[in-house]
Amino acid sequence: MNILYGAYTLLTSSLFLSCFPPFWIYTRLSGRYGENLRERLGFIPPKLARTLSGSPRVWIHAVSLGEVKVAVPIIIALRQIQPSCSVIVSATTKHGRQLATETFGDDIPVVYAPIDFIGSVRKALSRARPDVLVFLETEIWPAWLAEARRMGIKTALVNGRISVRSIGGYLRFRRFFREVLRNVDAFSMILEVDGARIRALGADPKKIEINGNAKYDLLASLADPAIEREMRQILNLKASQQVFIAGSTRGGEEAAVLGAYEKIAREFPDTVLIIAPRHIERTAEIGSLVERRGFRYQLWSELDSKGARRREPVVIINAFGVLFKLYSVGTIVFCGASLVPLGGQNPLEPAVWGKAVFYGPSMEDFLDAKALLEEGGGGIPISSPEMLAEKAIWFLRHPDALKSYAARARQAVIRNQNAAEKHAKVIAGLTRGLVLQGSGCLR
């Protein structure tokens, strides 16, 4: 690569060599952050590497919870196209790795991703020996891509998106990213605007396809009525009880949600409020805020693990992986990170349960989902906390209108599926020559 990549390699190598020794000592003394450190340094366990017996070998990198969920339908579609392929999945975060392990079990090996240091990446790729390296959504790692190209490994950015909030930062280093993106063999993007942004960064237009968002593909099948019954039992909900869910909220939004809830509760006093913060370490902060507003609350962990009955009007979710299930019992659902300028959250998760979805003006990270809902007549945009309360109360007064919006929201999700298959075909296309020369499993 050019001098820019040389500078990047020098910088990351210097940082690694200077920071790793004291960090290693800290992990040994404190017992923190040492979990699977060897994997992060590229030492994939030999027993995991030996499970990759099929051909071609596909390594899919999913950073955290959201990307792991995207990986599932893509892997299912890929295996339908290439039944004998081997797949390995990597994650960066602890929770992402846990979800991947729970999801794939013994069927697919799951590892921590190596840090983007040339030594770690080289070691990991040498042990796994993938034919194709797939990055999901917005993952662009220079050392991974350069080493993959050097080793003859095909690479792809799949379900790719570049948000309006991040494009400015990328463009400031356009010369660097133009060189990095030359190492990518295929870009399978979500929207036309994502394709335009990756092209503006220097990607070859001939390598770019627009194939939609694979996040939608499994949603309809995941909305199991048995989950709703379970959630109602845990939350001790009466059949007629209204439930206001604020999902994936960020700092500043809980106060807005509580303000709206105060107004709703005056007219519908039996309404239950469920707050699911994006970061559960904020639970104590949110609990204090709830009490200052004059409400009592319980934690989800008290209800779920200890079998206690819900008796308070507010429940704070202090666990990962339950929000999607909770959407099943929502009457009014608000998607967080949208009343503050943080790009929003996926509004299709509640929509697939047949819920009308409220969201604020900041939905830059989910423009496709927002457009899909609004075109289908199932999304309810709001511009302020006051509007959230006003519209929520109106819909609670007009339940037939709420049901109509909810039904249209679900249909919008169901009508827009099969993106995973399109993304999988891009991956399969990169392995075509390998498969035809080898096992012949492409069809």
Residue 26 has pLDDT above 80, yes or no: no
3-state secondary structure of 89: strand
Of the candidates 138, 276, 136, 147, the one whose C-alpha atom is nearest the C-alpha of residue 214 is: 136
Confidence band for 353, pLDDT divided at 50, 70 and 90 = very high
Which amino acid type is present at position 3? I
Confidence band for 309, pLDDT divided at 50, 70 and 90 = confident
Mean pLDDT, range 161-170, rounded to an integer: 87
For the chain, the residue count is 443
The answer to whether domain 3-217+418-437 and domain 220-415 are alike in fold is yes
CA distance 441 to 434: 10
Q: How many helices (H) and strands (E) does the chain have?
A: 22, 14
**By the 8 A CB rule, do 111 and 90 touch?**
yes
CA distance 379 to 394: 15
CA distance 159 to 213: 6
Residue 393 has pLDDT above 60, yes or no: yes
Confidence band for 438, pLDDT divided at 50, 70 and 90 = very low
pLDDT of residue 443: 28
CA distance 154 to 431: 8
Residue 439 has pLDDT above 60, yes or no: no
Confidence band for 138, pLDDT divided at 50, 70 and 90 = confident
Preceding amide of 56 cis, omega within 30: yes
CA distance 205 to 212: 17
CA distance 243 to 231: 12
Mean pLDDT, range 347-368, rounded to an integer: 93
Please give the sequence-ordered ranges of beta strands (E in DSSP) within 137-250, or none if there are none: 154-160, 186-189, 208-210, 243-249
The pair of three-digit structure tokens given for residue 154, joined into one six-digit string:
């095909």
Distances (CA, A) of 92 to 4, 67, 100, 236, 243: 25, 10, 11, 37, 34
31 phi, psi to nearest 5 deg: 75, 5
CA distance 8 to 1: 11
pLDDT of residue 24: 67
Mean pLDDT of the chain: 90
DSSP string, 226-253: HHHHHHHHHHT--TT--EEEEEEE-TTH
- Torsion of the alpha carbons at 227, 338, 303 and 219, rounded to the nearest 10: 10
Question: Angle 3-30/174-181 helices, nearest 10 degrees?
Answer: 90
pLDDT of residue 300: 96
What sign does the CA torsion over 213, 167, 10, 32 have? Answer: negative
**By the 8 A CB rule, do 52 and 86 touch?**
yes
For residue range 41-68, list pLDDT tens digits in order: 898 988 888 888 888 999 999 988 889 9
CA distance 16 to 34: 16
Residue 331 has pLDDT above 70, yes or no: yes
- Global pTM value: 0.75
CA distance 288 to 441: 58
What sign does the CA torsion over 407, 417, 95, 345 have? Answer: negative
> Could you tell me the residue ranges of all domains in the chain?
3-217+418-437, 220-415
Instruction: Name which residue leads in pLDDT, 208 or 32.
Output: 208
CATH (one of 3.30.70.360, 2.40.30.10, 3.40.605.10, 3.40.50.2000) for 220-415: 3.40.50.2000
Distances (CA, A) of 377 to 331, 334, 362, 365, 398: 17, 16, 19, 20, 16
Question: Distance between terminal CA atoms of the chain?
Answer: 36
CATH architecture classification, 3-217+418-437: 3-Layer(aba) Sandwich (3.40)
Residue 2 has pLDDT above 80, yes or no: no
Of the candidates 161, 114, 165, 155, the one whose C-alpha atom is nearest the C-alpha of residue 338 is: 165
Mean pLDDT, range 265-290, rounded to an integer: 96
CA distance 160 to 181: 13
Mean pLDDT, range 326-332, rounded to an integer: 97
